[in-house]
Amino acid sequence: MRYRGSIKHKRWRPGGGYGTLCPEWTHEVAGRGFSGEAQRHPWSRTKAHELFEASVEGENGRRYATERGIAFVAVSSNDGTWHGFPIVWDDVPVEIQDSLVNSGRVTRRQMRRYRNADRRNIRWALNSDDE
């Protein structure tokens, strides 16, 4: 399995539809942000890749991870790679939530902050860039 991000989840994407936008810190490398070219970005050196490597597989074939209280899901890009993006905790299977809490990766208190974020607000996870 190999991680490669998707421009659909980046703030600067020109035109077209967006998915939930990823915080900048998930794809920075040596203090520099996403280059704009998903194929050329050094994903193996990003926090996003690290999260993917530490992710937990769900029954639905998706992989789940967390950092800074935010839940992330990784899905197959149907080209041999995977890409991930933030999701609200209500979209994470309960058994995965329990596993992440029990392993100390997230606390219930942290989860409450992003439990019911407005799914129509694609920018909600960017708040963590300001922390």
19 phi and psi angles, rounded to 5 deg: -105, -175
The Cα–Cα gap between 11 and 26 comes to: 12
Question: Residue 74 belongs to what domain range?
Answer: 2-130
65 exposure class (CB count in 10 Å sphere: 0-12, 13-18, 19+):
buried
Q: What is the pTM of this model?
A: 0.85
User: Percent of the chain beyond pLDDT 70?
Assistant: 87
Number of domains in the chain: 1
DSSP-derived 3-state class of residue 26: helix
Mind listing the pLDDT tens digit for each residue in 49-72? 999 999 999 998 999 999 999 999
